Amino acid sequence: MTSLESECLSLIEQNNEEFSYSLQKYKLHTLATKEISSQSDSIFGYFLLYLLAKGQTKRYSLNRLELSDVIDINKSECIKTVDHIWRCSILGDIPQMKHALDALPKTHLKIGLAACEFLQERKGRWKSAREEGRKVRFNKLLKHPICSSEYK
């Protein structure tokens, strides 16, 4: 185990916010050397959850794509679980998303819960924005000259 890897693991156990910087170094090292250890799944899974919890869904997608060149998803249970949480949020399947939380390691539960909360809020914000858009379009339609009372 490298010192960078052990640093990432200790920061995960401490739920330390400084995790992101160390992981970026670890990710760059892993992508450059293409060397995966037994702890890589846990470290990258935590990082992906961290991105989701912070609302950085674009960074999540880009990092997930980068890591797909190096990590075998069939051997990566933690990353597979994070992917499942992401898919459930897109599909709006909140019960499955919460069920997937149970499959995460104990060190990942707090950040996983924060990620699920953000994804649920995001779904709610999207839904309310869509409804607001409908109201605006309906009001514009009512104000249109064809629909106004002076033409009736």
pLDDT tens track for 75-113: 899 999 999 999 998 888 888 988 999 999 998 989 999
pLDDT tens track for 53-72: 999 999 999 999 999 888 88
Report yes or no: 89 and 124 within 8 Å, Cβ to Cβ: no
Ordered by start, the domain boundaries in the chain are 3-126
DSSP per position, 14-57: TT-TTHHHHHHHHHHHHHHH----TTHHHHHHHHHHHHHHTT-H
Using CA atoms, how far apart are residues 3 and 75, in angstroms rounded to an integer? 23
pTM, entire model: 0.76
Mean pLDDT value across residues 30-42? 90
Alpha-carbon torsion, ordered 44, 50, 53, 57, to 10 deg: -60
Of 21, 46, 50, residue with least CA distance to 114: 50
Q: How far is CA 89 from CA 96, 105, 116, 119, 143, in A?
A: 9, 20, 8, 6, 37
